[in-house]
């Protein structure tokens, strides 16, 4: 049991050896750590069996005490998974299959030889690179929210404590007033990472001001944007970080109960979170009188059941109460009337993940990164037609070009870059023209997209943008909850027109109708889901009007045919 900040620091010191090899310090104990990525992406490509084989062979060769195999969270380089990193040698192996375990033990562990074929090959220079920090994918990244993901074993609280977990909470509870905490968060300039970008400190302040015996703090882990997996990776890789932040937030706003609302589609994140909650309770880091103060705080988990709209905070709260996840009219905002009518603060996973480090390193440190109005870093899930699919964390203000061509390694197969969709089904496309726009909340809005939660889907010259818009509309139509007519009927009619267009049956009048309807749905829907649902259509119409025209039958096409058959027929049913 940890009853004071001193207790915590003692445990940290006692177990600091666990991380010695990874921090390149000399220490007693094993001489080598083999880190194997245990994120969902790498587990999907058999990293579990890599671990099993490594352990079996190490045992057979008599290295069991000497070399420790550790399952970590996500390294981010999903395209090259499963990832294995050997410390203290600082060698990064990619696409390791269970069969490779033998060579890793017999060559690397036994003889110290690097295994050439498992090293990452730089696609431009055609050289093998063994250090993580020398890879273009990692060079421009700054890991703040993702810190310790891919470094520590997320299921071992001693490793988390050795890495400094719960120090910020201890500092907050024993030395700071609630207003001081809120002040620090405000000064840091942190804005909500779920997409809206509302200042976190302000949200906390508003909830704190409400007078009620009972308040709640909720972690929104209902990451529904298809192709985005930032929150999942944080929860899988460093769950204690989020729990610590929730407790800090609970203290600041005056809540003793926290809820994590998580998608049931994330089994690994759920299981690691459950483990972390249990461990934190056992150590007295959740529960009654934390750090010997009179502050008590505990966290429970509520499971989603597959509804995109539940990422919207009022829907989420309804779902937490066991009801249909339909949104409420705002105001009152959850900060005033939320879970069971009590003031409730809802923050996103990534937002929380930034909090402890803001406390320990100071708001000035955090605010030194980023742009004028968007501070810190942002995690993006880079996917689609891009060489380096993966999870990247970059300072706000970086350009799209740097993300796609430097970190992402460009477009596969020598194809041309066409567009990137940010903000998922709520966002819009950015094109060639925006490649050099610094990315932050406001610049993305000004070019007709949005930050969103951080999904970034890259499209190449072969992708037809009308089909992409239709794909997103089908998604939002499906996920629209049906509460308001604009959302329920509007998205359906928009989808029908898009289908008519892609089947070559539409006229110019349909295009006009679609445009009008898009703005109508945007202006008159009840909640964020359908207010933003038309964005992919509006944005593709703005940037790729020509592609819409190519489908239209009542205008003259250069081909001289009545109906133009587009080159790319993705999604078109005969």
List interacting residues with another protein (CB under 8 A).
Answer: 40-41, 44-45, 78-81, 224-229, 232, 264-266, 302-308, 319-326, 340, 381, 383-385, 389-390, 421, 424, 455, 457-459, 463, 468, 471-472, 481, 570-571
Output the smallest distance, CB 319 to another protein, in A. Answer: 7
Q: How far is CA 404 from the centre of its chain?
A: 17
Using the minimum distance from each CB to another protein, give the nearer residue, 196 or 412.
412
Output the smallest distance, CB 468 to another protein, in A. Answer: 8
Does residue 414 come out as left (phi exceeding 0), alpha (psi in the -120 to 50 range) or beta? left
Using the minimum distance from each CB to another protein, give the nearer residue, 35 or 389.
389
Cα–Cα dist 235/243, whole Å: 10
Using the minimum distance from each CB to another protein, give the nearer residue, 224 or 258.
224
Residue 540's SS3 state is helix
Cα–Cα dist 231/246, whole Å: 15
Cα–Cα dist 405/417, whole Å: 10
Using the minimum distance from each CB to another protein, give the nearer residue, 76 or 192.
76
Using the minimum distance from each CB to another protein, give the nearer residue, 76 or 528.
76
Using the minimum distance from each CB to another protein, give the nearer residue, 58 or 473.
473
Output the smallest distance, CB 514 to another protein, in A. Answer: 21
Output the smallest distance, CB 571 to another protein, in A. Answer: 6
Distances (CA, A) of 430 to 382, 456, 465: 14, 10, 12
Output the smallest distance, CB 498 to another protein, in A. Answer: 15
Using the minimum distance from each CB to another protein, give the nearer residue, 266 or 548.
266
Cα–Cα dist 290/207, whole Å: 22
Output the smallest distance, CB 491 to another protein, in A. Answer: 16
Is the backbone peptide bond immediately before 332 cis, with ω within 30 degrees of 0? Answer: yes
Q: Which of 326, 215, 319 is nearest to 262 (CA)?
A: 319
Using the minimum distance from each CB to another protein, give the nearer residue, 2 or 149.
149
Output the smallest distance, CB 124 to another protein, in A. Answer: 20
Quick one: tokens of 284? Answer: 């007295």
Sign for the pseudo-dihedral over CA of 237, 239, 245, 249: positive
Cα–Cα dist 550/527, whole Å: 33
Q: Which of 98, 94, 91, 104 is nearest to 61 (CA)?
A: 104
Using the minimum distance from each CB to another protein, give the nearer residue, 325 or 490.
325
Using the minimum distance from each CB to another protein, give the nearer residue, 229 or 251.
229
Using the minimum distance from each CB to another protein, give the nearer residue, 320 or 447.
320
Q: Which residue, chain included where needed, has tokens 């050795």?
A: 162
Sign for the pseudo-dihedral over CA of 262, 267, 273, 278: positive
Output the smallest distance, CB 227 to another protein, in A. Answer: 4
Output the smallest distance, CB 501 to another protein, in A. Answer: 17
Q: What share of the chain is helix, strand, coil (3-state, %, to 5)?
A: 45, 15, 40
Quick one: tokens of 472? Answer: 């997103």
Edge-first strand order for the sheet with 32-37 is: 67-72, 32-37, 84-87, 91-93
Using the minimum distance from each CB to another protein, give the nearer residue, 12 or 418.
418
Output the smallest distance, CB 14 to another protein, in A. Answer: 36
How many Cα atoms occupy the beta-carbon half-sphere of 104 within 13 Å?
A: 34
Output the smallest distance, CB 223 to another protein, in A. Answer: 8
The pairs formed by 173-177 with CB atoms below 8 angstroms and a separation of 24 or more are 173/251, 173/290, 173/291, 173/293, 173/295, 174/4, 174/5, 174/291, 174/293
Output the smallest distance, CB 138 to another protein, in A. Answer: 16
Quick one: tokens of 149? Answer: 């993901």
């Amino acid at each position: 049991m940890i009853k004071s900040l001193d207790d915590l620091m003692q445990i940290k010191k006692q177990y600091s050896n666990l991380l010695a090899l990874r921090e390149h310090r000399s220490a007693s104990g094993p001489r080598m750590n083999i880190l194997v990525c245990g994120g969902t992406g790498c587990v999907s490509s058999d990293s579990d069996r890599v671990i099993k084989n490594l352990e079996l062979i190490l045992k057979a060769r008599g290295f069991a005490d000497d070399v420790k195999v550790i399952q970590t969270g996500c390294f981010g380089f999903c395209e090259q998974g499963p990832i294995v990193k050997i410390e203290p040698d600082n060698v990064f192996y990619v696409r390791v299959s269970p069969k490779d375990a033998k060579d890793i033990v017999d060559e690397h562990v036994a003889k110290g030889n690097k295994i050439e074929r498992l090293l990452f090959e730089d696609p431009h220079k055609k050289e093998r690179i063994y250090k993580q920090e020398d890879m273009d994918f990692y060079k421009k990244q700054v890991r703040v929210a993702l810190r310790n993901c891919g470094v520590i074993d997320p299921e071992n609280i001693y490793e988390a404590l050795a890495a400094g977990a719960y120090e910020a909470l201890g500092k907050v509870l024993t030395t700071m007033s609630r207003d001081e905490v809120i002040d620090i968060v405000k000064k840091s300039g942190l804005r909500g990472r779920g997409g809206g970008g509302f200042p976190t400190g302000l949200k906390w302040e508003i909830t704190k001001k409400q007078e009620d015996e009972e308040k709640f703090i909720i972690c929104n882990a209902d990451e529904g944007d298809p192709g985005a997996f930032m929150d999942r990776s944080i929860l899988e890789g460093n769950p204690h970080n989020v729990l610590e932040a929730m407790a800090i937030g609970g203290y600041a706003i005056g809540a003793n109960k926290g809820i994590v609302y998580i998608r049931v589609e994330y089994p690994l994140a759920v299981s690691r979170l459950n483990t972390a909650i249990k461990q934190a309770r056992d150590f007295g880091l959740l529960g009654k009188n934390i750090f010997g103060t009179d502050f008590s705080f505990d966290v429970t988990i509520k499971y989603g059941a597959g509804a995109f709209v539940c990422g919207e905070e009022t829907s989420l709260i309804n779902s937490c109460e066991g009801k249909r996840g339909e949104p409420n009219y705002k105001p009152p905002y959850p900060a005033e009337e939320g879970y069971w009518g009590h003031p409730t603060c809802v923050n996103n996973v990534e937002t929380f993940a930034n909090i402890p480090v803001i406390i320990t390193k100071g708001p000035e440190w955090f605010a030194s990164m980023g742009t004028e109005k968007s501070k810190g870093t942002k995690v993006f899930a880079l996917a689609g037609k891009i060489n380096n699919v993966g999870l990247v964390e970059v300072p706000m203000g970086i350009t799209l070009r740097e993300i796609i061509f430097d970190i992402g390694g460009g477009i596969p197969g020598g194809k041309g870059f066409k567009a990137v969709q940010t903000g998922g089904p709520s966002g819009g496309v950015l094109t060639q023209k925006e490649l050099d726009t610094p990315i932050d909340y406001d610049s993305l809005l000004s070019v007709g997209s949005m930050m969103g939660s951080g999904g970034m889907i890259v499209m190449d010259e072969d992708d037809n943008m009308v089909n992409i818009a239709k794909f997103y509309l089908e998604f939002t139509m499906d996920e629209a909850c049906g509460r308001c007519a604009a959302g329920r009927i509007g998205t359906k009619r928009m989808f029908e027109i898009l289908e008519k267009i892609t089947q070559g049956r539409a006229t110019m009048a349909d295009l006009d109708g679609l445009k009008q309807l898009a703005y109508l749905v945007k202006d008159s829907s009840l909640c964020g889901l359908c207010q933003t649902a038309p964005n992919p259509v509006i944005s593709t119409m703005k940037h790729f009007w020509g592609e819409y025209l190519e489908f239209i039958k009542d205008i003259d096409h250069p081909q001289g045919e009545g109906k133009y058959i587009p080159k790319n027929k993705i999604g078109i049913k005969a």
